[in-house]
Amino acid sequence: MKPDVKLAPSILAADFTRLGQEISEAEAAGAHLLHIDIMDGCFVPNISFGALMIDACRKASGLYRDVHLMIEKPERYTNDFVEAGANNLTIHAEATNHVHRVLEQIKEHGVDTGLAVNPVTPLSYVKEALPYLDKVLIMTVNPGFGGQKFIETCLDRVKEVARWREKTGLEFDIQVDGGIDETTIERVIQAGANNLVAGSAIFGQSAGITERFQLLNSLALQASEG
């Protein structure tokens, strides 16, 4: 069965002075989940926010909180993030020597697991972990900043993981993150992604959150039906 297409607004691009309203607007527009980017200034060259932000999102809406951990040794903080309200923890394959152990740790907390890989990290890092995953995140930019250009060579990576999903019958989501907008969204879906993160294409645009969400969502639906 073809997995449902889900669009995940990334709050990294939101106006933090009006975060509650912006999240409510995204929810009312039909957002399926909320993408929360935690950055430590070490795994990536930027610092964003920590567990308090997950808790704030929980207070602002009932949307599923999809937490993307761009931090070294995520095993140190899984408990804190789950307590703060994460529904999913996506770790980076490059950020720990103990991917399997951390995935088990996340499962023990009763939340969903995700494994992310940077644009040229070998996909074999993910392949071995597939039975333990609810989500594979194929980064389509180098993580750390919003508003970057989509890296075209990542499309073939999405296709490869989609073939694995087909072959194994496993039901993990294939998420893409970085540079997703109206010029790229159809192609990532055609390649096999079903879970799409978009930050600067939804927030901070003059058209407004509702209009931008609906445009991307309708393109996504058309591409998944086509």
The one of Zn ion, ligand DX5, none whose footprint includes residue 41, by CB under 5 to 8 A per kind, is none
The SS3 assignment for 195 reads strand
Instruction: Return residues touching Zn ion (CB under 5 A).
Output: 37, 68, 177
Nearer to Zn ion, 2 or 142 (CB): 142
What are the backbone angles phi and psi of residue 71, rounded to the nearest 5°? -135, 150
Asked whether position 117 contacts ligand DX5 by CB under 6 A, the answer is no
Out of 22, 27, 37, 173, point to the residue binding ligand DX5 (CB under 6 A).
Answer: 37
Q: Which two tokens stand for residue 178?
A: 């970085």
Asked whether position 13 contacts ligand DX5 by CB under 6 A, the answer is yes
Burial of 166 per CB tally in 10 Å (0-12, 13-18, 19+) = exposed
Out of 67, 178, 189, 220, point to the residue binding ligand DX5 (CB under 6 A).
Answer: 178
| Least gap, CB of 14 to Zn ion (angstroms) | 13
Out of 74, 85, 114, 179, point to the residue binding ligand DX5 (CB under 6 A).
Answer: 179
Burial of 159 per CB tally in 10 Å (0-12, 13-18, 19+) = middle
Strands (E), the chain: 6-9, 33-39, 64-70, 88-92, 112-117, 135-139, 173-177, 195-198
* Closest CA relative to residue 137, chosen from 102, 172, 184: 172
Nearer to Zn ion, 66 or 108 (CB): 66
Q: Which two tokens stand for residue 1?
A: 């069965």
What is the C-alpha to C-alpha distance for residues 132 and 162, in angstroms, rounded to an integer?
16
Active site residue ranges: 37, 177
| Least gap, CB of 66 to Zn ion (angstroms) | 9
Nearer to ligand DX5, 12 or 102 (CB): 12
The one of ligand DX5, Zn ion, none whose footprint includes residue 191, by CB under 5 to 8 A per kind, is none
Out of 74, 85, 114, 143, point to the residue binding ligand DX5 (CB under 6 A).
Answer: 143
The one of Zn ion, ligand DX5, none whose footprint includes residue 179, by CB under 5 to 8 A per kind, is ligand DX5
Out of 68, 92, 135, 165, point to the residue binding ligand DX5 (CB under 6 A).
Answer: 68
Asked whether position 180 contacts ligand DX5 by CB under 6 A, the answer is yes
Q: Which residue has the tokens 């998420």?
A: 175
**Which helix (H) or strand (E) covers residue 11, if one does?**
none
